[in-house]
Amino acid sequence: MYILMHFTCLLPFVCLLIYTPLMPCPPFTTFVPSSERERERERMEKSGTPRVAIIGGGISGLAAAKELRWLEPVLFEATDSIGGVWRHCSFRSTRLQTPRPDYEFSDYQWADRNDPTFPTHSEILEYLHGYATHFDLWRFIELETKVVEIRFVGHGETKTGFTDLWGDKGRPIADGPAWEVGVVTPRSNTVQWCKFEFVVMCIGKYGDVPNMPTFPRGKGPETFLGKVMHSLDYCKLDDQAAKSLMKGKKVVIIGYKKSAIDLAVECAEANHGSDGQPCTMVIRTLHWTVPSYSISGLPFFLFFSTRLSQFLHERPNQGLFRSLACHLLSPLRRGVSRFIESSLTWKLPLEKYGLKPNHPFVEDYASCQMAILPENFFAEADEGRIAFKRSSRWCFWEGGVVLDDNTKLEADVVLLATGFDGKQKLKSVLPEPFRGLIVNSSGVMPLYRGTIHPLIPHMAFVGYVESVSNLHTSELRCKWLGRLLRGHFKLPGTEAMFRQIGAEIEVMKRTTRFYRRHCISTFSINHSDDMCEEMGWSSWRKRSWLAELFSAYNNQDYKEDESQ
Nearest Cα to Cα of residue 399 among 234, 233, 282, 227 = 227
What burial class does residue 117 get, using C-beta atoms within 10 Å of its C-beta: 0-12 exposed, 13-18 middle, 19+ buried? exposed
Q: CB 83: neighbour CB atoms within 10 A?
A: 25
pLDDT for res 470:
87
User: What is the Cα–Cα distance from 54 to 150, expressed in whole angstroms?
Assistant: 12
What is the full DSSP assignment across 120-165?
A: BHHHHHHHHHHHHHHTT-GGGEETT-EEEEEEE---GGGSS---SS
Domains of the chain in sequence order: 46-207+422-558 (3.50.50.60), 221-291+348-416 (3.50.50.60)
Strand partners, 201: 55, 461
DSSP state of 171: B
What burial class does residue 27 get, using C-beta atoms within 10 Å of its C-beta: 0-12 exposed, 13-18 middle, 19+ buried? exposed
pLDDT for res 269:
94
pLDDT for res 563:
58
Single-letter code of the amino acid located at 327? H
pLDDT for res 40:
44
Q: Could you report the per-residue pLDDT of 200-252, keeping only the tens digit for each? A: 999 988 877 889 999 999 999 999 999 999 999 999 898 899 999 999 999 99
pLDDT for res 35:
53
DSSP-based three-state secondary structure for 78:
coil
Question: With a threshold of 0.85, does the pTM exceed it?
Answer: yes
Q: CB 114: neighbour CB atoms within 10 A?
A: 8
- CA torsion 494-497-501-504 (nearest 10°) is 160
pLDDT for res 23:
31
Q: For residue 331, what are the CA distances in angstroms to 1, 7, 301, 305, 507?
A: 13, 10, 20, 19, 18
* Widest pairwise Cα distance in the chain: 72
| CB contact at 8 A, 414 and 400 | yes
Strand partners, 388: 281
Instruction: Enumerate the H helices of 227-329 as residue ranges.
Output: 231-234, 239-246, 258-270, 301-304, 307-310, 319-328
Segment-wise mean pLDDT, segments of 10 residues, the chain, 564 residues:
43 41 30 47 55 96 97 95 86 82 92 87 93 97 95 66 72 91 90 96 86 93 96 91 94 94 95 92 95 83 91 91 90 95 95 96 92 91 96 96 96 95 88 91 91 95 90 95 94 94 94 88 94 93 90 88 59
